[in-house]
Amino acid sequence: MKKNFLALAAGLIAACGYAPLKAWPLTLLAMALLLWLVADAPRLRSALARGWWFGVGHFTLGLNWIATAFTFQAAMPAWLGWIAVVLLSLYLAVYPAVATGLAWRWGTARSSAGTTGGTDALRLVLMFAAAWIVTEWLRATLFTGFAWNPLGVALLPTPVSWTAMWIGTYGLSGITILCAGMLLILWHRQWRPAAGLAAALAAAVGGAALTSRPAEGAARVALRIVQPNIGQQEKWREGFEAVNMARLETLSAGPPPAEPRLLLWPEAAITEPLQTELDYLPLQRDAALLRREVGALLRPGDLLLSGGITWRSATGKDLTSATNSVFAIGAGGRILARYDKAHLVPYGEYLPMRPILSAIGLSRLAPGDVDFDAGPGAQTLDLPLVGKAGFQLCYEIIFSGEVVDRRNRPAFLFNPSNDAWFGAWGPPQHLAQARLRALEEGLPVLRSTPTGISAVIDAEGSLLASLPWRERGVIDTRLPLPKPPTLFAHFGNVLPLAFALLLAGLAIVIGRRAGAIANRPETR
């Protein structure tokens, strides 16, 4: 039981590597401790339990911002938020538990009685890294997926993160395990395996850096990112629409630019529908007036990309659903294109099993009685002024390998978001994951959020400009250039899964060689 509490503590410590703390050395130490606990486990059940307790601590601390979302929901008490965090963590901890179970089963030497009989640390580390890659990918895929805070994002401040250009975020998580595993190997004084692993990691990091090609493209477009600092408690308050629009207009205005510009507003910046399918003339008129008001801010050649909503109707009369969208708007208020969010947030944008949950008093965390409809997925829209643009609305940006239409590669990604209900930990974590998408795909990422952190990220994942959390302001700069497609941009998540297969294969080969040596007559 003491080892389970030690695993819980290791999970809490490992989460300190994520933003805003960014104490990534603690993550490596905690993962090394978890590896030691797996090697020390006498039975498979013990290894599974230690991995599960690790996950409970890891996700409870790392996802504490979810509790803040409940403070904006009058239909449910705020204390329910912490229960939700713990319940979610109890489920998510299954994935680290499976990883530790696989590592124990295939990465440790056991006697005929089933207990561990000595530790080949390299074999254990390789198998655990392989298992972690696969289980983290599964976490991002099963039951609509929840990819928040992959382990590898903790190493974003280090050169090790460059390997994401080759093997993506899940592969980077495996690399993180290998880095932590060197500590375990050194603890066991297995110097040659430690030196070999260190050399392989250095070669991977150096290779990724050397094969990275510079950004390329024509003259860059002038852009302005707007951060109005409108909190969740204000945004949907009755009568606040005029204040909201006035603040957006003020921040968007300025001296007449010498050239057309790209203007970027946050997710749901416009709280009233810009389009409606309801066959109701006053609503149609209101939407048209709103489009003209927004379009009046734009000069000829300007382009606005703004979050907004569309009301939909199955009957033409009643509001039955909506879309969470990005609208491309030109001068005069003409809608040039629309992207509808595809990866919707359970309980935020739709209520699963609505008839059952609504009957017991549960509701969505975001305001509204209707659910959002999902869009078709990653799209590239060809727009005036900027050319090919990709879109990932808020939560969508966290899904590695799913953010770009690979058949029609964009020149940049726009990631409007509403992080105003994510507390102090959510926004910097969201930003870090957006930076990983830029690094993986070799594409700039532009973020506009109501309360921060809005940012301009270049095609190598570096932060070129940002606005602090809870600060009103604008970013005036130019659109960064894209890089040629990275290896990951070509093949996606096939690469980290192939990397996991390679690591598992190496671990099995090491185990068989050790078994063959142990069975030689002269070693008996």
> How crowded is residue 511: how many other Cβ atoms within 10 Å of its Cβ?
19
Annotated catalytic residue, options 341, 349, 440, 483: 341
Q: Which of 78, 60, 61, 56 is nearest to 69 (CA)?
A: 78
Displacement of CA 39 from its chain's centroid (Å) = 31
Whether 51 and 33 have beta carbons less than 8 Å apart is answered as no
Q: How far apart are CA 96 and CA 35, in angstroms?
A: 12
Burial of 367 (0-12, 13-18, 19+ CB in 10 A): middle
DSSP 194-261: HHHHHHHHHHHHHHHHHHPPPP--SSPPEEEEEE----HHHHTSTT-HHHHHHHHHHHH--SPPSS-E
- Angle subtended by helix axes 164-187 and 191-211, to nearest 10: 160
CA atoms of 500 and 506, how far apart (whole Å): 10
Cα distance between residue 492 and residue 479, in whole Å:
25
Show the tokens assigned to 44: 């498979």
With tokens 């951060």, the residue in question is: 227
Quick one: which H or E segment has residue 389?
Answer: strand 387-391
Catalytic: 341?
A: yes
DSSP class of residue 116 equals B
Q: How large is the C-alpha radius of gyration of the chain?
A: 25
In terms of Cβ atoms closer than 10 Å to its own Cβ (0-12, 13-18, 19+), residue 109 is middle
- Among the listed residues 136, 179, 235, 267, the single catalytic one is 267
CA dihedral 497, 498, 504, 509 (to 10 degrees): 170
* Contact by Cβ (8 Å): 339, 326: yes
241 is catalytic: no
Comparing CA positions, the residue from 100, 104, 4 lying closest to residue 53 is 4
- Going by the DSSP 8-state scheme, the letter that residue 110 receives in this structure is B
Torsion 398-401-407-413 (CA) sign: positive
Q: Are 253 and 263 spatial neighbours (Cβ–Cβ below 8 Å)? A: no
Residues 6+ apart with CB under 8 A from 190: 121, 122
- Active-site choice (235, 394, 396, 440): 394
Residues belonging to the active site: 267, 341, 394
